[in-house]
Structure 1
Amino acid sequence: MKNVKPSIIISLSLMFIIWMFLSQVTNLNSFASTYDQVDFALALERYDLLAMQPHFPGYPYFILGGYFVHLWVQDKAASLTVFNILLYTSAIIPMYKISRAHFSGAISLLVATLTYCSGFVVLMVNQPMSEGAAIAVLWWYVWSISVAWKKQSFWSQVNPLFLLSLLLGIRLSYLPFSIGVLFLLFKLWNIKQLPLKDMVPLGLLAVLFQLLWVSGVALTEGGFVGFMKLALSFTSGHFNEWGGAATSVDQSFFSRMYQLIIENIGWTGIGIRSFFLMSMFAVMFLYFIWSISWKRINSSYLFQLFTLLIVVYFLWVLFAQNVEKPRHIIPLISLGTFCLFSMVFSKWKTTFMISFSFLLLSVQAYQTTLLLKEQASELPATYQLGAYLENYKGPFVIYAWEESRVFTYLDTSFPHKEINTYSKFLHDQSYYKNKDILLTNSVLEGFRSQGVDLTDKVEVVEQFSSNSLFDPVYHHIILYRWKGRGTNSIPTTSY
C-alpha cells in the first residue's frame, strides 16, 4: 500500500459506511407507489395470498421481518424499508469476510465499502420491496458457501442450506443462486472425494429447510392444494402474460440484451444515470481488464463461485425476468462490483488507486444521498394522480390498471376500477352516463395492444411525472377523458 496508512483507509471506509447508513435512515421512503409495494405493505395488516397481500409465493421471511419492525414503526411501507436497511447493513460483514481471504484488513474493508455503497443498490434497498433484504441474505449465503468449502465440516455445510431457505423465503426469483450449493457439493465430491452417501443428509436438510417456509405459507391458504393452484396461476401469468419474461413480450433477443446490459446494468445500475460516475467506473473497468488473471480465476474457488453465480443469474434475468424493471439486476451489480474492485486491488494497491477509490466513493455517496432525499420527499406519479383526482370537480369514475391498487392502499374517496379488456370497459362505462369517464395511459396502451383504434375517442386531461429511476413503469402517467362524456370542469392544480 506504499504511502497510504491502513488506519487512514479504515477510518475513511467507516466514515462512508456511516454516511450511507445515516442517509438511508434520515431519508426513509414511506411511499408504496407500485402494485408490488402495496402487496407487501398490506401484508403487514393482513396476510392473505388470495387477496394479493402479498402476491405468490408469499415472501414470509420478508413480511415477518417487516412485521416486527412495524411494532415500532407505524407506517407499513416505512417498516419494510427499515427492515431492508438494517439487514443490508449487516451484509458488510460477509462482504468483508469474503474479501479478507485475499487482502489485508484495510483493503478488505475498502472493497466491502465500495460494494456496500453501490448507489442503485442503496436506492432499491430504500424501497418497501424484498430485493433489499434478499441481497443482504445473498451475501451471507455466499460467505457461508466459502466457509463450508474451507472448513469442510458437516455443520459448516448445513449453513448455506439454511441461508438458501431464508433467501428463497424472502425472494423466490433468486432461485438460480441454488447453483452455489450444487457447486459446493460438486467440488466436495470431485476434489475432496466426499462419498455421495454422505451428501444424502445434506439433501434431506435442504428440502426440509425449504419446506419450513413453504408449509407455513401453504397453511395460510388452507393447504398445499390451494397453494399449488396459486403457484400455477402466478407462474402462468409471469411467463406468458404480464411478467415481462422473454416468452411473454414481443421483443427481440438483441433488444433485450441492449436494454439489460447497456441501459439496466451500465447506465442505471452502475452509473445511476450519471455520466461522471460512469466515467469513473469506466476507469476502474479498464484497470480490471488490465488486472485480470485467468490463471488465478481458474485456480480460485471464490472466483469460480462468483463467476458461476453471476453468469447463471444473468441468463435468468435475460430470459425469465422483466427487463423493464432494473431492480432485477441488483445481484449482478452487487456481486459484479465486488469482483471488479477485488480484481483491481489484487494488482493495484497503489496510492493512486486507493485515492481514486475514495474519490469514487465521495461522488457516489453524494449523488446517492441526493437521490435518497428525492425518493423520500417527492410524490410518485401514482400519488400525484390520486391527489389530483381527490380535487376533481364533479362526478367521475376512473379506469386504471395497477394504479387502482395504489388508490386502494391510499384509501381514496373517489370511484376507481381496474380494467383489462376493451369489451369489458365499453360495457361497464355505459352505466355511468352522468359521470366523466377517465382513463390512464396504461389502460389505453392495453386497449391498443388488443387492436383497438382510439383515434378521436379520448382527450388528454393532465400528466404526472416522477423519477423513472425509482419507478421505471409508472413514472409518467397521462390522464385521459373519454370524449363526449360529461362537461365537468378540470382543476388547474399541478403537481
Structure 2
Amino acid sequence: MTTLRERPFLSAAAFAALLCALRLAYASPYAASWDAVDFALALDRFDLLAMQPHFPGYPFFVFAGMALRPWFGGDAVAALAGVGALAYASAVWPMYALARAALPAWPAAAAAALLQASAYAGLAAALPMSEAAAVGALWWFGYAALAAFRSPRFAVRLLPAAAFGALMGIRLSYVAFGLLLLPLFVREWRSSRLRACGFLLAVAAAQLAWIAALVASEGSLGGFWTLGVEFARGHFAEWGGAATAETSPPLPSRFATLVFRNWLWIGVCGGSVWSAAALVPVAVAALASVAGRRGRVRVSSSDAAALRWLAAACAAYFLWALFAQNIDKPRHILPLVGPALWLLALGLHRACRGRRAVFAAAMAAALAGQLFAGLRLLDAAHTETPAVVQLHGYASERLEAPFQLLTWEETRVLGYLGAAYPHKRAYTFALAEEERRARPDRRTYVTGKVVEGFAAQGVDVASRFVSVATFASNAIVDPVYHEITLYEWKEEEEALRPTD
C-alpha cells in the first residue's frame, strides 16, 4: 500500500516544496489580462454582475485568494498566484500515488517530480489565474476516483463526489472530467439502488456547496440563471473563441493549433527547444515500448479500470478544448499536459526495464529540460513588463492631451491600472466613428486588435490609421496581447500623406 512515509515520495515532496517556493518568489506582479483583472477585483468585492469575477464565479479559487491575501501583504495578484502555486504543489501526492498504480516507488517519484517541474504548469502557478489551482484539484479528484475504484466501501466512493464539487468550484470548464463519476455510479446501482441514490445526492450536494453561494451573491436563482445564459451565448457565439463562433478558424486548423502548438510545443515542451530535445528520446523510447509491447505493465483490475476511465475523461476534455474553448489561449490545454508527461515516464520505464541507469539518465535530462524552460518562463513573467502595461505607460507619459484611446480587451486592464485618460472598448467601426466625431477636440488612438476588427468589418484601415508605437512581451506569458500596436486615427488624406 502506498503511504506518505515512503522515502521516494518524501524526496518528490521536498522537490515540489522547493519549486513552490521558487514560483512564489517569482510570481508575476501584474494582472495583465481581462480574466486576471476580474479575479483581482473579486478579492475586493465579489460581484458577478460587475464581472468580479466573470461567470461562473470560480468561488473556491476567489475565496482561497481572499484567505491568503493577508499573508501576501494585501496584494491581490500575489495572493491569487499563491493559491495556484500551493494547490499545484499539494498535488505531488496524488501524482505520486497515481504513478504508483503502474510504476515502482522510485520511478513513480521521478514521474511526480517531472510533473511538478512542468514548465508550463509552473508558469500557470505564477500567474493570478485559476488554472494551476484547478489542475492541482484535478489531480486530487483523480486520486479520489482511484481510491473509490479500489475500495468497496461506500464512504470511500463519496470522496470523488466531494473532490469533483471542489474542482467545479474552482473551474467549471473542467466538467468533462466528471465522466469519472459514471462508472462509480454504475457500480453502486448494480449493488444497491439506495446507495446509488445516495451517491447521486452526494454529487449534487457537493455542487450545491458552490452554486448556492453564487446564487446568494446574485440575489436570486433567476438572476443567476439569466447571467449564465448570457455568458454561454457570448462564449459560444462571440468572444469565447469556441468552434461555433463566426470568427473561428476551420476545424483542421483548430486541431493542428491545439495539438501541435498548444499541447505539445507550449504545454509539454514549455516552448523551449532544449526541453523538446530532452523529451524526444523519452518519447521515442515510450512509443517503441508500446509498438513492441516491451515491459508490460502489471496493474490490478481495479487500477486498470480507473486508468482507462481517466484516459476516457482526458479524451472527453480534449474534445471540449477543441470545440468549446479558445485555442488562442494555450492554458486551456493545461489539464492534459500532466497526463502526457505521465505517459512519457511510464513508456520510458517500460522501454528501460532492467536498465535503471538509462531510465534515470533520460528522466534527469527531461527534468533538466523542464526546469530550464520553466525558469525562463518564470523570469519572463516576473521581470518583463506586459505589452498592455507598456501601452499604459506610453499613453500616460508620451501622448499629448487631450486624446482618447479605443481598445478591445485592453481597456479592462487600463481601468485596473487607474488610467487617467479616456479609454473604452470599441465594438464596431460605426460606433467608434461616432465616438470620434463626438469629440473633435481630442485625438483618437486605437490598438491593433481594434484595427483588425475594423478590417474584418470591411473597413479600409490603411487609409485611416497610422502606426505610432509597438509594445511587445513574452508570447507564452501573454498569448493574445503579447504584441500591441498603437495607431492614431487620421482623416483619410492625412493617413495617406507620406511622412518624413
Select between 418-427 and 134-143 the one with higher mean Cα deviation. Answer: 418-427
- For the Cα contact (< 8 Å) 2:28–2:127, is it kept in 1? yes
The code of the aligned residue for 1:175 comes to V
Superposed counterparts of 1:273-292, under 5 Å? 273-292=271-290
1:469 equivalent to 2:469? Answer: no
1:220–1:399 distance in 2 versus 1, CA, 3 Å: same
- For the Cα contact (< 8 Å) 2:242–2:248, is it kept in 1? no
1:251–1:298 distance in 2 versus 1, CA, 3 Å: farther
Q: What stretches of structure 1 move > 4 A for 4+ residues in a row?
A: 9-16, 293-299
Select between 227-236 and 199-208 the one with higher mean Cα deviation. Answer: 199-208
Q: CA–CA distance in 2 between the matches of 1:42 and 1:376?
A: 21
- For the Cα contact (< 8 Å) 1:20–1:369, is it kept in 2? no
What secondary structure does 1:163 align onto?
helix
Per-residue CA deviations over 1:103-158 (Å, capped at 9, x if unaligned) read 33322211111111111111112111111110000000000000011112111111
Aligned pair partner of 1:365 in 367, 371, 379: 371
Task: Look up the match of 1:343.
Answer: 347
Select between 103-112 and 199-208 the one with higher mean Cα deviation. Answer: 103-112
Superposed counterparts of 1:14-163, under 5 Å? 16-73=15-72, 74-163=74-163
Per-residue CA deviations over 1:320-364 (Å, capped at 9, x if unaligned) read 111111000001101221122123324525211112101221222
Task: Look up the match of 1:268.
Answer: 266
Task: Look up the match of 2:256.
Answer: 258
Q: CA–CA distance in 2 between the matches of 1:297 and 1:240?
A: 45
What secondary structure does 1:71 align onto?
helix
- For the Cα contact (< 8 Å) 2:278–2:365, is it kept in 1? no
- For the Cα contact (< 8 Å) 2:271–2:373, is it kept in 1? no
Q: Which runs of 5+ in 1 are unaligned?
A: 1-5, 488-495
Normalising by structure 1, report the TM-score. 0.92
1:307 equivalent to 2:311? Answer: yes
- For the Cα contact (< 8 Å) 1:47–1:53, is it kept in 2? yes
Displacement of 1:283 in angstroms is 1.5
Task: Look up the match of 1:376.
Answer: 382
What secondary structure does 1:45 align onto?
coil
1:358–1:16 distance in 2 versus 1, CA, 3 Å: farther
Displacement of 1:453 in angstroms is 2.0
The code of the aligned residue for 1:66 comes to G
Task: Look up the match of 1:412.
Answer: 419
Q: CA–CA distance in 2 between the matches of 1:336 and 1:183?
A: 23
What secondary structure does 1:157 align onto?
helix
The code of the aligned residue for 1:390 comes to S
Displacement of 1:159 in angstroms is 0.9
Q: CA–CA distance in 2 between the matches of 1:296 and 1:481?
A: 66
Q: CA–CA distance in 2 between the matches of 1:64 and 1:366?
A: 33
The code of the aligned residue for 1:257 comes to F
What secondary structure does 1:51 align onto?
coil
Task: Look up the match of 2:3.
Answer: none
- For the Cα contact (< 8 Å) 1:148–1:156, is it kept in 2? yes
The code of the aligned residue for 2:324 comes to A
Displacement of 1:19 in angstroms is 4.2
Aligned pair partner of 1:442 in 443, 449, 460: 449
Displacement of 1:316 in angstroms is 0.7
1:101–1:239 distance in 2 versus 1, CA, 3 Å: same
Select between 297-306 and 150-159 the one with higher mean Cα deviation. Answer: 297-306
Select between 93-102 and 369-378 the one with higher mean Cα deviation. Answer: 93-102
Q: CA–CA distance in 2 between the matches of 1:135 and 1:408?
A: 30
- For the Cα contact (< 8 Å) 2:98–2:143, is it kept in 1? yes
Task: Look up the match of 1:334.
Answer: 338
Task: Look up the match of 2:170.
Answer: 170
- For the Cα contact (< 8 Å) 2:12–2:92, is it kept in 1? no
The code of the aligned residue for 1:424 comes to L
Task: Look up the match of 2:206.
Answer: 209
The code of the aligned residue for 1:225 comes to G
Q: CA–CA distance in 2 between the matches of 1:406 and 1:432?
A: 23
Q: Percent identity over the alignment?
A: 33
- For the Cα contact (< 8 Å) 1:16–1:365, is it kept in 2? no
Q: Which runs of 5+ in 2 are unaligned?
A: 1-5, 495-500
- For the Cα contact (< 8 Å) 2:24–2:81, is it kept in 1? no
1:14–1:97 distance in 2 versus 1, CA, 3 Å: closer
Task: Look up the match of 1:234.
Answer: 231
Task: Look up the match of 2:221.
Answer: 224
Displacement of 1:241 in angstroms is 0.6
Q: CA–CA distance in 2 between the matches of 1:183 and 1:451?
A: 52
What secondary structure does 1:430 align onto?
helix
Displacement of 1:196 in angstroms is 3.5
Q: CA–CA distance in 2 between the matches of 1:15 and 1:45?
A: 34
Q: CA–CA distance in 2 between the matches of 1:438 and 1:57?
A: 34
Per-residue CA deviations over 1:405-462 (Å, capped at 9, x if unaligned) read 0011111211111121111111111122121100001111122222222231110010
Task: Look up the match of 1:181.
Answer: 181
Select between 277-286 and 224-233 the one with higher mean Cα deviation. Answer: 277-286
Displacement of 1:290 in angstroms is 2.2
Aligned pair partner of 2:402 in 391, 395, 398: 395
Displacement of 1:281 in angstroms is 1.6
What secondary structure does 1:344 align onto?
helix
Q: CA–CA distance in 2 between the matches of 1:12 and 1:92?
A: 10
Task: Look up the match of 1:493.
Answer: none
1:311–1:10 distance in 2 versus 1, CA, 3 Å: closer
Q: CA–CA distance in 2 between the matches of 1:285 and 1:306?
A: 21
Q: CA–CA distance in 2 between the matches of 1:11 and 1:366?
A: 23
- For the Cα contact (< 8 Å) 1:30–1:81, is it kept in 2? no
1:307–1:46 distance in 2 versus 1, CA, 3 Å: same
1:211–1:277 distance in 2 versus 1, CA, 3 Å: same
Per-residue CA deviations over 1:268-303 (Å, capped at 9, x if unaligned) read 111122223212222111221222359969961233
Task: Look up the match of 1:490.
Answer: none
Count of aligned residue pairs for this structure pair: 477
Displacement of 1:14 in angstroms is 5.7
Select between 459-468 and 150-159 the one with higher mean Cα deviation. Answer: 150-159
What secondary structure does 1:50 align onto?
coil
- For the Cα contact (< 8 Å) 1:310–1:336, is it kept in 2? no
Normalising by structure 2, report the TM-score. 0.91
The code of the aligned residue for 1:434 comes to D
Q: CA–CA distance in 2 between the matches of 1:297 and 1:435?
A: 71
Select between 24-33 and 141-150 the one with higher mean Cα deviation. Answer: 24-33
The code of the aligned residue for 2:254 comes to R
1:479 equivalent to 2:486? Answer: yes
- For the Cα contact (< 8 Å) 1:23–1:369, is it kept in 2? no
